[in-house]
Amino acid sequence: MKEQIAQLLEKTVEVLKQRGVLPADAAPRIQVDRTKDKAHGDLATNLAMMMAKPARTNPRALAEKIIEHLVPSDLVSRVEIAGPGFINFYLNPEWLAGRIEAIQQDPRCGVAAVAAPQTVVVDYSSPNLAKEMHVGHLRSTIIGDAVARTLEFLGHNVIRQNHVGDWGTQFGMLLAHMEELHKQGGELRMQLADLESFYREAKGRFDASESFAERSRQLVVELQSGDAYCLKLWQEFLDISLNHCHELYRRLNVSLDRSHVMGESAYNDDLPKVIDDLDAAGLLTEDQGAQCVFSDEFMSQDGSLLPMIVQKKGGGFLYATTDLAAIRYRQKVLNAQRVLYFVDIRQSLHFRQLFAVARKAGFVKDDTQLEHMAFGTVMGDDGTPFKTRSGGVAKLADLLDEAETRAYQLVKEKNPDMSDDELQHISRVVGVASVKYADLSKNRSSDYLFSFDNMISFEGNTAPYLLYAYTRVASLFRKAEISEDNAGAKILLTDEYETELAAKIVQFEEVVGRLAEKGCPHILCGYLYDLAGQFSSFYKNCPVLNADDEQIRKSRLALAQVTARVLRRGLSLLGIETLERM
RNA sequence: GACCCCGUAGCUCAGCUGGAUAGAGCAACUGCCUCCUAAGCAGUAGGUCACAGGUUCGAAUCCUGUCGGGGUCGCCA
Tell me, what's the pLDDT at A335? 98
Distance B66 C1' – A448 CA (angstroms): 27
CB A581 within 7 Å, strand B:
yes
CB A431 within 7 Å, strand B:
no
Shortest-distance nucleotide from A300 CA to C1'? B2
CB A411 within 7 Å, strand B:
yes
Tell me, what's the pLDDT at A169? 86
CB A88 within 7 Å, strand B:
yes
| Interval A367-392: pLDDT, tens | 999 999 999 999 988 888 898 878 88
Write down the mean pLDDT value for chain A. Answer: 91
Rounded-to-integer distance, Cα A231 and Cα A227, Å: 6
Distance B51 C1' – A384 CA (angstroms): 27
- With the CA atoms of A245, A246, A252 and A254 taken in that order, what torsion angle do they form, in degrees rounded to the nearest 10? 110
If one counts every other C-beta atom within 10 angstroms of the C-beta of residue A548, the result is 7
Distance B29 C1' – A525 CA (angstroms): 30
Distance B14 C1' – A448 CA (angstroms): 13
Confidence band of A483 (pLDDT split at 50, 70, 90) = low
Q: How far is CA A505 from CA A493, A515, A566, in A?
A: 13, 16, 7
Shortest-distance nucleotide from A530 CA to C1'? B24
| Interval A303-357: pLDDT, tens | 778 899 999 998 999 999 999 999 999 999 999 999 999 999 999 999 999 999 9
CA atoms within 13 A on the CB side of A248: 24
Specify the DSSP element, H or E, that contains A332. Answer: helix A319-332
Edge-to-edge order in the sheet of strand A119-123: A157-161, A119-123, A338-341, A369-372
Tell me, what's the pLDDT at A196? 84
Closest CA relative to residue A162, chosen from A254, A252, A72: A254
Q: How far is CA A194 from CA A132, A162, A199, A352, A465, in A?
A: 8, 22, 9, 37, 35
Closest CA relative to residue A47, chosen from A90, A8, A9: A9
Shortest-distance nucleotide from A53 CA to C1'? B57
The b/e string for A330-349 (b: 16+ C-beta within 10 A; e otherwise) is bbeebebbbbbbbbebeeee
Distance B58 C1' – A46 CA (angstroms): 11
- Which of residues A453 and A260 earns the better pLDDT score? A260
Rounded-to-integer distance, Cα A72 and Cα A571, Å: 37
Tell me, what's the pLDDT at A171? 92
Specify the DSSP element, H or E, that contains A184. Answer: none
Q: How many residues does chain A have?
A: 582
CB A482 within 7 Å, strand B:
no
Interface ipTM: 0.95
Whether residue A486 is predicted with pLDDT greater than 70 in this model: the reply is no
Angle of CA points A161, A167, A172, to nearest 5°: 155
Whether residue A484 is predicted with pLDDT greater than 80 in this model: the reply is no
Confidence band of A459 (pLDDT split at 50, 70, 90) = confident
CB A37 within 7 Å, strand B:
yes
Over residues A235-242, the mean pLDDT reads: 93
Lowest mean pLDDT of A307-311, A440-444, A483-487, name the range. Answer: A483-487
CB A236 within 7 Å, strand B:
no
- Which of residues A148 and A18 earns the better pLDDT score? A148
If one counts every other C-beta atom within 10 angstroms of the C-beta of residue A168, the result is 16
Shortest-distance nucleotide from A47 CA to C1'? B19
CB A450 within 7 Å, strand B:
no
Rounded-to-integer distance, Cα A515 and Cα A570, Å: 11
Q: Which residue is nearest to nucleotide B19 (CA to C1')?
A: A46
Indicate the residue type of A114.
Answer: V
Which residues numbered 176-235 in chain A sit less than 7 A from strand B, measured from CB? none
Over residues A111-136, the mean pLDDT reads: 95
Which residues numbered 285-324 in chain A sit less than 7 A from strand B, measured from CB? 287-290, 292, 300-302, 304, 306-307, 309, 312-314, 316, 318-319, 322
A575 CB-near residues (< 8 Å, 6+ apart): A142, A145, A146, A149, A252, A253, A254, A255, A436
Q: Which residues pair with A292 in a beta bridge?
A: A285, A309
Over residues A2-19, the mean pLDDT reads: 89
CB A437 within 7 Å, strand B:
no
Nucleotides of B under 7 A from a protein CB: 1-6, 12-17, 19-27, 35-37, 39-42, 57-58, 71-77
Tell me, what's the pLDDT at A314? 87
CB A459 within 7 Å, strand B:
yes
CB A265 within 7 Å, strand B:
no
Check: CB of residue A284 under 8 Å from CB of residue A291: yes
Cα dihedral A139, A140, A143, A145 sign: negative
Closest CA relative to residue A436, chosen from A577, A328, A333, A335: A577
Distance B57 C1' – A98 CA (angstroms): 39
Check: CB of residue A160 under 8 Å from CB of residue A148: yes
Rounded-to-integer distance, Cα A319 and Cα A310, Å: 8
pTM score, two decimals? 0.95
Closest CA relative to residue A164, chosen from A108, A106, A219, A124: A124
| Interval A34-62: pLDDT, tens | 888 888 889 999 999 989 888 888 899 99
Rounded-to-integer distance, Cα A148 and Cα A387, Å: 29
Distance B8 C1' – A567 CA (angstroms): 29
Rounded-to-integer distance, Cα A110 and Cα A506, Å: 8
Q: Which residue is nearest to nucleotide B37 (CA to C1')?
A: A472
Confidence band of A187 (pLDDT split at 50, 70, 90) = confident
| Interval A537-579: pLDDT, tens | 999 999 999 888 889 999 999 999 999 999 999 999 999 999 9
Tell me, what's the pLDDT at A21? 87
Rounded-to-integer distance, Cα A220 and Cα A213, Å: 11
Over residues A508-531, the mean pLDDT reads: 96
Indicate the residue type of A525.
Answer: C
Tell me, what's the pLDDT at A185? 76
CB A542 within 7 Å, strand B:
yes
Shortest-distance nucleotide from A290 CA to C1'? B75
Angle of CA points A244, A250, A251, to nearest 5°: 90
Q: What is the 3-state secondary structure (H, E, C) of A30-72?
A: CCEEECCCHHHCCEEECHHHHHCCCCCCCHHHHHHHHHHCCCC
Tell me, what's the pLDDT at A350? 95
Over residues A112-128, the mean pLDDT reads: 96
Distance B21 C1' – A197 CA (angstroms): 58
Q: Judging by DSSP bridges, how do beta strands A284-287 and A290-293 pair with one another? A: antiparallel
